[in-house]
A = this chain, B = another copy of it.
Amino acid sequence: MAKTAKHRHKNKKYTLPKPGASPGLVYTDEHSLESVIKLHTYHADYYKEEALPDLNNLKEAINDKKYTYWVDIKGFKTVELFERLSVDFNINKLVLEDITMTYQRPKYEEYDGYDFAVSRMLYMDSEQNLINEQLSFILTENVLFTFQDRYEDCLIPIRKRLEIGKGNIRIGGSSYLMYALMDIVVDEYFAILGFWSENLDAIEDRLLDKPDKTIMFDTQTIKRNLITLRRVAWPERDKMNDILRSESELIDVKTKLYLRDAYDHCIQVIDMVESLKEISASIIDMYLSIISNRMNEIMKVLTIISSIFIPLTFIAGIYGMNFSREDPVTGKVLPQNMPELYAAHGYLYTMIGMSIIAVLQVIYFWRKGWFK
C-alpha cells in the first residue's frame, strides 16, 4: 500500500522553476529524455513518416504548402532543439519555457504567426498509476508541432488513422490534426473514467460483501485521481471555448464544428467526474457507517455475554465462599452461616435461579432488538 502511495506521488512531480531564475529559459535537467523527432508529411493521397536527428534542416523541409506537416517531438534533453525553434520559427521564449516546464494548465494562446496550445494527457500506466503528461502544440498554417516529455502517450490511434488515411484526417489540414489529437486526449478521459467507474462498482460490491480497510484507501485513491482529472478537464473546457471563440485564421472553420463537439465532450467528462465523486463520497459514508455498525455489533456480543455471565459468576462466587460451618476454636456448628449450602436441593434451586436470571436477560436483550 505504502508503495502504491509513493508511486502515485512520484508521478505527480512536475518540472518546477528554480526561484529567481530568468524567465524564458528552457528547463531541461538530467531526468530529461533524449529528444526523438518524427516528421509526418501528408496530403490526401500521400503519407510519409521519417525520423529526424535534429531540427537543423526542418525549415527547408517543410516549405511545400501542398503538404501538411506534423513535427512530433518527444523528450526535451537537447536544448539546441529549442534554440532552433526560437531562431528558425521565431517562437517566443516564454512559449518554449511553457513547453518544457511541464506543469502548465490546458490553455490556448495566439502569437504572431502561430498559435500555442497545451493539452494534458491522462492515462493509466502498466502499474495502474495515473500519468499526467503535458502535450504542447504549436500550430502554423500547414505545420503542427507537438511536444511531450515522455515517450509513452495515447496518440497511437491518430498515427494509425493518418497512415491509413480514412476520414477527414489527411484532408483537414494542421488545425484538424490538432483537433484530432486534442479529441483523442479527451476520449482517453472517458476511457479512464470508465475504468474507475468499474473499480468503484467493484469496491461497492466488496463494501456490501465483506468491507475491509482497503475500501477506504482504494476509494480515496480514485477520489484523488478524479480530482486530478477535474482539475484538468475544467481548463480543458475553457481552452476549447477559447479556440471556438478565437478569430485566429489558423483554425479552419470546419474544424470549429468538430471542436464544438469536443467542447461538449469536456462538459460530459466534468459531469461524469462529479457523478463518480458523489459515488466515492457515498461509498466512504457507507463504509464509515458500516464500521460504526460493526462496532455496535461487537459491543452487543460483549455486552450480552458479559451481562449474562458476570452476575451468574457472582452468584457462583457467593456459594464458593468459605463461611464456616463450625467455629474453628470450639468446633461448634454455626448453622446461621450460609444455610443455603446445606439446604436440600440447594444446588438445584441455585441452578434454576441462575437459569431464570439468564433467560430474563435474554428476553430483555431480545426485546431491545439486539439479536437482530
Residues of A within 8 A of B (CB): 1-2, 5-6, 9, 12, 16-23, 92, 94, 97, 103-105, 107, 154, 156-158, 160-161, 166-169, 183-184, 187-188, 190-191, 194, 197, 201, 204-205, 208-210, 212-213, 216-217, 220, 223-224, 227-228, 231, 257-258, 261, 264-265, 267-268, 271, 274-275, 278-279, 282, 284-296, 298-303, 305-307, 309-314, 316-329, 333-338, 341-342, 344-348, 350-351, 369-370, 372
Query: Bound complex: CA of A336 vs CA of B344, how far in Å?
Result: 8
> Are A302 and B303 in contact, CB atoms less than 8 angstroms apart?
yes
**What residues of chain B lie closer than 8 Å to A333, measured between beta carbons?**
328-329
**What residues of chain B lie closer than 8 Å to A347, measured between beta carbons?**
321, 323, 336-338
> Which of B204, B274, B298, B314 lies in contact with A303, CB distance below 8 A?
B298
**What residues of chain B lie closer than 8 Å to A334, measured between beta carbons?**
342, 344
> Which of B167, B284, B290, B314 lies in contact with A312, CB distance below 8 A?
B314
Query: Bound complex: CA of A345 vs CA of B336, how far in Å?
Result: 7
Q: Taking the full assembly, how many copies of this chain does it contain?
A: 5
Query: Bound complex: CA of A289 vs CA of B103, how far in Å?
Result: 33
**What residues of chain B lie closer than 8 Å to A291, measured between beta carbons?**
289, 292-293, 296
> Are A268 and B105 in contact, CB atoms less than 8 angstroms apart?
yes
**What residues of chain B lie closer than 8 Å to A160, measured between beta carbons?**
20
Query: Bound complex: CA of A223 vs CA of B281, how far in Å?
Result: 11
A-B contact pairs, 14 of them (CB 8 A): A2-B209, A6-B201, A19-B154, A20-B158, A103-B268, A105-B271, A224-B279, A231-B274, A288-B292, A305-B310, A312-B314, A320-B322, A323-B341, A338-B347
**What residues of chain B lie closer than 8 Å to A342, measured between beta carbons?**
324, 327-329, 334
Query: Bound complex: CA of A196 vs CA of B261, how far in Å?
Result: 35
> Are A296 and B298 in contact, CB atoms less than 8 angstroms apart?
yes
> Are B310 and A323 in contact, CB atoms less than 8 angstroms apart?
no
Query: Bound complex: CA of A18 vs CA of B344, how far in Å?
Result: 80
> Which of B5, B154, B289, B325 lies in contact with A288, CB distance below 8 A?
B289
Knowing A5-B205, A103-B268, A338-B347 are in contact, say whether A190-B16 is a contact too (CB < 8 A). Answer: yes
